[in-house]
Amino acid sequence: MAYEISEQKKIGFGLLGFGFFFSILGVILFFDRGLLALGNIFCLTAVAILLGWQSTWTLFTSRKNYKGTVSFLFGLFFIFVRWPVVGIIFEVYGCVVLFGGFWPSVKMFLNQIPFVGWIIRYL
């Protein structure tokens, strides 16, 4: 593999996996706000560990990402005030705006994983 994964990145990917798992489980269980909030906490922590604290702060506070940051924070707010469907809609939009620039890097990384890369190349 071209990339070497450090222990810190392994922890970050593990937290990201737990975040996605709890978020999906929260949606499947009729938008359970506890599971959705737990998934959000895991995902935000994973992003901070993978990118670094300073890069994460810069990502969320840069001028071109204000729309995504505000949308994501409104989504968190709506989940905490018991409107999880509206919160998920805001969060998905915020994530797409915030992390839209990362998709080429993610695709290149996934192409190098043996089984996943084969599936991505043939889709």
60-76 residue pLDDT tens: 999 988 999 999 999 99
The whole-angstrom separation of Cα 91 and Cα 59 is: 16
15-36 residue pLDDT tens: 999 999 999 999 999 889 899 9
Cα–Cα distances (Å) from 107 to 37, 43, 56, 63, 64, in that order, read: 27, 19, 20, 26, 23
The whole-angstrom separation of Cα 26 and Cα 38 is: 9
- Domain assignments of the chain as residue spans, ordered by start: 7-121
Residue 39 has a pLDDT of: 93
Q: Which of 98, 96, 79, 5 is nearest to 35 (CA)?
A: 79
**pTM of this prediction?**
0.76
Residue 49 has a pLDDT of: 94
- Confidence band, pLDDT 50/70/90 cuts, at residue 103: confident
Instruction: Tell me the residue ranges of DSSP E strands in 19-100.
Output: none
